[in-house]
């Protein structure tokens, strides 16, 4: 039998956006044992930035935005800063932060050659930010998989694919950029609901990098919706 496919899902990279943490913990509970040619193993990192989550702070303990500290797009497209107090401080160098090095090491041990999908879960704005690299086969697979997963929730999550031609949501040093370019596998930043903010649930909110915590009444529904969405994605990437 072929070795199992590996799918890597992380949460908590921005400590002010912890919605991915319970989702990822749920994925392991929902994941069935598959036999035949569709074997897949889950590599789940529920909380990549425990210091940030504990402090409800976007950055890590060094004040670095871990989702701007990666190789592809580092310091590009006006999406990060060298200001040490900025919420989008990219850090002093590419992969300068221990959390990013740990993520890269985990993927390498997976082993790397079996990685088939990478997902980084955030909140909010209800969109798949999916980097396209210019590798036509890889990009086609990425879009097909994203559309299948979007269909599970009737396309309420938006299509945020980038282009590989210098426009759109191009590389800005995210972990999704790293896995898209270095591993050439489907990869994206998934922003969970809400679309607009607290007003979607009868409250108030503002946009920006302040993150969002789902109301208690919505957590189970979103968690279960996304568990089903991801199980479909995992099954599709398992082969043969």
pLDDT in tens, 170-205: 899 999 999 999 999 999 999 998 888 778 877 766
pLDDT in tens, 54-97: 999 999 999 999 999 999 999 998 999 999 999 999 999 999 99
% of the chain with per-residue pLDDT over 90:
64
Residue 211 pLDDT class (50, 70, 90 cuts):
low
With beta carbons less than 8 A apart as the criterion, state whether 229 and 34 touch: no
Q: Is 50 exceeded by the pLDDT of residue 167?
A: no
240: buried, middle or exposed (CB in 10 Å: 19+, 13-18, 0-12)?
exposed
- Residues 6+ away with beta carbon under 8 Å from 83: 89
Q: Please give the C-alpha separations between residue 113 and each of 73, 149, 182, in angstroms, as whole numbers.
A: 23, 24, 11
Tell me what pLDDT residue 33 has: 55
What 8-state DSSP symbol labels residue 166? S
Higher pLDDT, 65 or 220: 65
Tell me what pLDDT residue 121 has: 96
**Average pLDDT of the residues in 115-128:** 94
**Average pLDDT of the residues in 27-43:** 72
Higher pLDDT, 164 or 159: 159
What 8-state DSSP symbol labels residue 119? E
Tell me what pLDDT residue 204 has: 66
Tell me what pLDDT residue 219 has: 84
Tell me what pLDDT residue 150 has: 97
What is the pTM (predicted TM-score) of this model? Answer: 0.93
Placement of tokens 């945020």 in the chain: 160
Tell me what pLDDT residue 210 has: 62
Q: Is 50 exceeded by the pLDDT of residue 166?
A: no
Tell me what pLDDT residue 209 has: 56
Higher pLDDT, 188 or 222: 188
Q: Residues 74, 77, 82, 88: is their CA dihedral positive or negative?
A: negative
Q: Is 60 exceeded by the pLDDT of residue 136?
A: yes
Lowest-confidence pick of 91-100, 151-160, 228-237: 228-237
Tell me what pLDDT residue 51 has: 98
Residue 48 pLDDT class (50, 70, 90 cuts):
very high
Lowest-confidence pick of 38-42, 140-144, 162-166: 162-166
């Amino acid at each position: 039998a072929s070795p199992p496919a590996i799918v890597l899902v992380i949460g908590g990279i921005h400590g002010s956006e912890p919605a991915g943490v319970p989702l990822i913990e749920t994925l392991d509970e929902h994941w069935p044992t598959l036999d035949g040619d569709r074997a897949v193993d889950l590599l789940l990192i529920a909380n990549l930035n425990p210091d940030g989550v504990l402090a409800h702070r976007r950055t890590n303990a060094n004040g670095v935005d871990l989702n701007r500290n990666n190789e592809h797009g580092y310091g590009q497209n006006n999406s990060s800063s060298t200001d040490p107090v900025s919420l989008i401080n990219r850090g002093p160098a590419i992969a300068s932060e221990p959390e990013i090095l740990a993520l890269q090491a985990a993927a390498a041990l997976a082993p790397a050659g079996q990685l088939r999908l990478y997902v980084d879960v955030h909140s909010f704005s209800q969109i798949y930010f999916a980097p396209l690299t210019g590798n036509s086969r890889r990009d086609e697979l990425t879009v097909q998989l994203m559309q299948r997963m979007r269909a599970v929730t009737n396309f309420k999550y938006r299509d945020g694919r980038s282009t590989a031609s210098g426009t759109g949501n191009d590389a800005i040093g995210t972990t999704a950029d790293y896995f898209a370019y270095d591993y050439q596998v489907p990869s994206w930043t998934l922003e969970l609901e809400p679309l607009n903010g607290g007003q979607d649930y009868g409250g108030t909110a503002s946009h920006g990098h302040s993150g969002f915590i789902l109301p208690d009444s919505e957590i189970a529904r979103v968690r279960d919706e996304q568990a089903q969405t991801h199980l479909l994605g995992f099954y599709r990437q398992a082969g043969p």
